[in-house]
C-alpha cells in the first residue's frame, strides 16, 4: 500500500470511530476537510448534508456537502459529492451536476429525497435576495486515481467532465494528498531563499539608462523597478525548490486569499490572453510589492544589468497577479515572454511594519481575516487554554492535519468559529455572527485600534477576560450543536438558529449569574429553544397577514430576531421553572 493510501485509510478509520459512521461517510468528512481547510468537527456540524448518527439515511438530494464562502461583495458556493471508490462513473457525474441544477438553479423544493438539503437552499435564496452574486463550484471527490491503469476510464471521464471554466472540478486521491501535503509543508518553518532580481533599463534615454529608483527612510531601504514576468515565475520556482511549496513566498495573512476566480483575476487572465493588450501589462496592473530581510542595491550596472540580490523575499501584494502569471508560465512560457511587471521592493525585519504594508497595499480585494488575526498575541493564550482542556484550537492554515489534538481526533475548532460564537454571545450580536463572519473577524482585527471598544479584550494582555469568554462561548456552541441533533427534524427552524440559541443561553445564564458549565447550559437549552420556536411562529403569522414571504435564514440574520427573542424572554413563564432549577439545584455565583 502506498503512503498516500496508508495516510488516507488511517484517517478514515479514525473519523469512522470518532463519529460512529462507516468509511464511505468518513471519506466525505475527510475529503471536504482537506478542500476547505476546516476541522473534521466543523465539516460534520456545518457542511455535510447528512449528519448520520441515528438519523442515517435522511435524504440529501444527491449532494454530500455545501459551504458558502463569503468573499468581498460576493459568495463562492462550494458544493461536494464524495465517493469512496476507485473509479469515476459517468452516471454519478451527470447526476451530481443535474441535482445541483434542479435544487439550486431551478429552486425546486418538490424534488424527491431532498428534505435534508432544504436549509442550504434557504441559505442560497437568502443570499440571493440580498443582491449578492453566488459563484458556485461543483467539486466531485473520489478515492481513486485519474492515472490508475486498472481503471483506464478514469482519465477519459476526467477529460470529459473536469471543466474549470464552468466550475465543475474533479479531484482524485492524488490531488487530495497533494493538497494536504501542501498544507503540512506550509505549516513548517521556511528555509532561507536567496534570489537576485534584474531590473530592466530604460528604453527611452539610452545615454543614461535608468533602471531603478532607490531611497531609504530611517532603517528601511526601498527600490522600485521594472522586470520581466519570467523572473517572477523563476522566483516561484526557486521557492518550490527550496521549501517544497510556493505558499511560503506569500505573506501569511494573504495566503488564504480569494482563490483565483473573482473579477480581478478574470481581468488579469483576459489581459494575458489578449495579444494586443498583454504588452501593456505594466500599465494595466498595479504591480507586485515584495519585502525581504536583506537586499543589496546596485550603484551602477554590471555587464549591462542592474542586479539586486535579496534574502527571503516575500510577496505581500500581488498574489493574484503572481499566481496567474505562474500558472500561465507553467502551461506555456512563450505567452509571458515579453510581459513586464512593476516591482516595489522593501528591506525590513520589523514584523509590525510588514503587517502594515501588507494591509495598506491590499486594497483591491478583501484579505482573509482569519489569516490576518492568526498571528495576534491573544490567539496564543486562547490556544493554550483550549489545549489544556484537551481541545484543538486551530488558528492557522493546515492545522487540521498537523495539530496533535486534531490528528488524534480530539475535539477541534477553528479560531474563526470560536470567535464567531463569542461575538454572538458575549458581544450580543447573533445576527451579525450569522450574517457575516468576515465582519466579525474584521472587527476583532481592528481591535488593535485604541478607539475600538474591543481593544482592551484583544490587546494580547495575559489578564484579558476574553480567553475564558471564548472558551465559554465554545461550550455553549457545542451543547447547541449536540442538542439540536436530538430534536424532531420537523422543527426545521432548529437548523438555522445556532447563533440565536447560543445568545439566548448566554443571556439567561449571565443575567442569573450562573456558572457557565455544561450542566447549566443543558438545562437552559430547552427553554431557549421553546422561546425561539414561539417567535418564529409569531413572525410567520405576521408575514402571512402582510402577504409577505418568511425565510428562516433571513429572519435569523436580522436584528429583529434578537429583538423578538429578548421581548419574548422577558414575558414568558418558561423561565420561572428554569430559575427555580438554577437557584435551588445548581451552584451559582454572585
Q: In this predicted model, what pLDDT tens digit does every residue of 157-175 receive, in sequence order? A: 999 999 988 899 999 999 9
Phi and psi, residue 446, nearest 5°: -70, -5
Indicate the pLDDT class of residue 271, thresholds 50, 70 and 90: low
Distances (CA, A) of 406 to 15, 392, 402, 548: 11, 6, 7, 46
Taking only the tens place, the pLDDT of each residue in 4-18 is 888 899 999 999 999
Distance, CA of 481 to CA of 563 (rounded, Å): 23
pLDDT 10s digits, 476-499: 999 998 887 776 556 788 889 999
pLDDT (0 to 100) of residue 503: 96
| Range among 235-249, 292-306, 474-488 with highest mean pLDDT value | 235-249
Q: Which long-range contacts (CB under 8 A, 24 or more apart) does 215-218 make?
A: none
Q: Which residues contact 432 (CB under 8 A, 6 or more apart)?
A: 423, 439, 440
Tell whether the model's pLDDT for residue 588 goes beyond 90: no
Contacts of 546 (CB under 8 A, 6+ apart): none
Question: What value does the mean pLDDT of the chain take?
Answer: 84
Instruction: Using pLDDT thresholds of 50, 70 and 90, give the confidence band for residue 567.
Output: very high
Query: Span 190-194, mean pLDDT?
Result: 89
Alpha helices, DSSP H only, in 389-455? 404-407, 415-425, 430-435, 437-445
Return all residues near 292 (Cβ < 8 A) that are at least 6 apart: 310, 311, 312, 313, 314, 345, 346, 347
Domains, the chain: 3-186 (3.40.91), 194-367 (no CATH), 371-585 (no CATH)
The total of other beta-carbon atoms located within 10 Å of residue 483's CB is 16
CB 100, CB 66: distance < 8 Å? no
The x, y and z cell numbers of residue 14, run together, are 479514525
Residue 261: other Cβ atoms inside 10 A: 14
Neighbours of 188 (CB within 10 A): 13
- Pair 413, 474: CB distance under 8 Å: yes
Q: Which residues pair with 394 in a beta bridge?
A: 414
Nearest 5°: the CA angle 8, 11, 16 is 125
pLDDT of residue 259: 47
User: Alpha-carbon distance 2 to 22, whole Å?
Assistant: 22
Q: What is the pTM of this model?
A: 0.76
Of the ranges 35-39, 114-118, 244-248, 484-488, which one carries the lowest mean pLDDT score? 484-488
C-alpha cell at 430: 447573533
Each residue of 346-366: pLDDT tens digit? Answer: 998 766 666 667 666 655 444
Q: How large is the average pLDDT for residues 65-83? A: 90
Burial 237-254 (b: 16+ CB within 10 A, else e): ebbeeebbbbbbbbbbbb
Query: Where residue 529 falls among pLDDT bands split at 50, 70, 90?
Result: very high
Residues 107 and 121 sit within 8 Å (Cβ to Cβ): yes
Is 584 a residue whose pLDDT tops 60? no
Q: Strand, coil or helix: what is 463?
A: coil
Question: How many whole angstroms separate alpha carbon 192 and alpha carbon 345?
Answer: 18
Sorted by sequence, the CB contacts under 8 Å of residue 35 that are 6+ apart come out as 78, 80, 139, 141, 171, 176, 179
Nearest to 286 by CA among 220, 344, 232, 213: 344
**Sheet of strand 288-292: strand arrangement:** 212-217, 220-228, 340-347, 288-292, 314-317
Collect all residues with Cβ–Cβ distance below 8 Å to 360 and sequence separation of at least 6: none
- What proportion of the chain, given as a percentage, has pLDDT over 70? 83
Q: What DSSP element (H or E) covers 346?
A: strand 340-347
d(CA 89, CA 93): 6
What percent of the chain clears pLDDT 90, i.e. is strictly above it?
46
Residue bearing the bigger pLDDT, 482 or 187: 482
Cell numbers for 525: 437549552
Confidence of residue 578 (pLDDT cuts 50, 70, 90): low
For range 438-456, the mean pLDDT: 80
Amino acid at each position: 500500500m502506498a503512503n498516500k493510501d496508508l495516510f488516507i485509510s488511517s484517517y478514515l478509520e479514525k473519523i469512522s470511530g470518532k463519529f460512529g459512521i462507516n468509511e464511505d461517510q468518513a471519506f466525505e468528512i475527510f475529503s471536504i476537510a482537506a478542500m476547505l481547510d476546516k476541522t473534521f468537527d466543523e465539516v460534520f456540524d456545518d457542511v455535510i448534508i447528512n449528519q448520520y448518527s441515528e438519523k442515517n439515511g435522511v435524504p440529501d438530494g444527491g449532494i454530500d456537502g455545501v459551504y458558502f464562502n463569503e468573499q468581498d461583495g460576493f459568495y463562492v458556493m462550494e458544493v461536494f459529492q464524495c465517493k469512496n471508490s476507485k473509479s469515476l462513473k459517468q452516471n454519478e457525474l451527470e447526476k451530481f451536476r443535474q441535482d445541483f441544477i434542479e435544487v439550486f438553479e431551478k429552486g425546486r423544493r418538490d424534488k424527491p429525497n431532498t428534505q435534508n438539503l432544504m436549509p442550504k437552499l434557504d441559505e442560497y435564496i437568502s443570499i440571493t435576495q440580498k443582491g449578492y452574486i453566488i459563484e458556485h463550484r461543483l467539486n466531485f471527490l473520489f478515492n481513486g486515481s485519474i492515472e490508475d491503469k486498472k481503471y483506464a476510464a478514469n482519465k477519459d471521464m476526467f477529460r470529459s467532465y473536469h471543466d474549470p471554466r464552468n466550475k465543475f472540478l474533479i479531484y482524485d486521491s492524488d490531488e487530495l494528498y497533494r493538497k494536504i501535503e501542501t498544507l503540512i509543508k506550509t505549516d513548517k518553518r521556511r528555509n532561507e531563499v536567496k534570489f537576485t532580481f534584474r531590473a530592466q533599463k530604460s528604453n527611452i534615454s539610452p545615454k543614461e539608462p535608468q533602471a531603478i529608483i532607490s531611497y531609504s527612510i530611517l532603517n528601511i531601504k526601498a527600490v522600485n523597478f521594472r522586470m520581466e514576468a519570467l523572473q517572477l515565475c523563476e522566483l516561484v520556482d526557486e521557492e518550490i525548490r527550496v521549501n517544497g511549496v510556493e505558499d511560503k513566498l506569500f505573506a501569511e495573512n494573504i495566503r488564504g486569499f480569494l482563490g483565483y476566480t473573482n473579477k480581478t483575476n478574470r481581468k488579469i487572465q483576459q489581459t494575458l490572453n489578449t495579444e494586443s493588450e498583454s504588452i501593456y501589462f505594466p500599465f494595466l496592473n498595479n504591480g507586485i510589492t515584495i519585502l525581504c530581510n536583506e537586499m543589496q542595491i546596485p550603484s551602477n550596472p554590471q555587464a549591462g544589468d542592474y542586479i539586486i540580490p535579496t534574502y527571503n523575499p516575500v510577496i505581500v501584494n500581488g498574489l493574484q497577479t503572481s499566481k496567474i502569471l505562474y500558472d500561465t508560465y507553467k502551461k506555456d512560457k512563450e505567452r509571458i515572454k515579453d510581459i513586464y511587471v512593476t516591482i516595489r521592493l522593501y528591506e525590513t525585519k520589523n514584523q509590525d511594519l510588514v503587517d502594515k504594508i501588507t494591509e495598506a497595499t491590499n486594497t483591491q480585494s478583501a484579505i482573509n481575516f482569519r489569516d490576518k488575526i492568526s498571528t495576534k498575541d491573544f490567539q496564543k493564550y486562547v490556544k493554550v487554554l483550549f489545549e489544556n482542556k484537551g481541545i484543538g484550537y486551530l488558528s492557522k492554515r493546515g492545522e487540521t492535519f498537523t495539530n496533535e489534538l486534531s490528528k488524534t481526533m480530539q475535539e477541534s475548532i477553528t479560531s474563526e468559529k470560536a470567535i464567531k460564537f463569542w461575538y454572538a454571545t458575549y458581544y450580543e450580536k447573533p445576527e451579525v455572527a450569522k450574517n457575516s463572519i468576515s465582519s466579525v473577524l474584521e472587527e476583532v482585527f481592528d481591535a488593535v485600534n485604541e478607539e475600538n471598544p474591543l481593544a482592551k479584550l484583544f490587546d494580547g494582555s495575559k489578564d484579558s477576560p476574553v480567553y475564558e469568554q471564548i472558551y465559554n462561548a465554545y461550550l455553549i456552541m457545542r451543547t447547541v450543536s449536540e442538542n439540536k441533533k436530538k430534536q424532531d427534524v420537523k422543527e426545521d427552524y432548529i437548523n438555522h438558529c445556532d447563533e440565536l440559541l447560543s445568545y439566548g443561553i448566554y443571556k439567561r445564564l449571565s443575567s442569573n449569574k450562573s456558572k457557565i458549565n455544561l450542566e447549566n447550559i443543558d438545562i437552559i437549552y430547552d427553554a431557549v429553544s421553546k422561546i425561539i420556536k414561539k417567535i418564529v411562529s409569531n413572525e410567520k403569522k405576521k408575514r402571512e397577514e402582510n402577504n409577505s414571504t418568511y425565510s428562516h435564514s433571513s429572519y435569523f440574520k436580522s436584528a429583529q430576531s434578537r429583538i423578538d427573542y429578548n421581548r419574548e424572554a422577558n414575558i414568558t413563564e418558561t423561565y420561572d421553572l428554569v430559575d427555580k432549577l438554577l437557584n435551588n439545584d445548581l451552584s451559582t455565583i454572585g
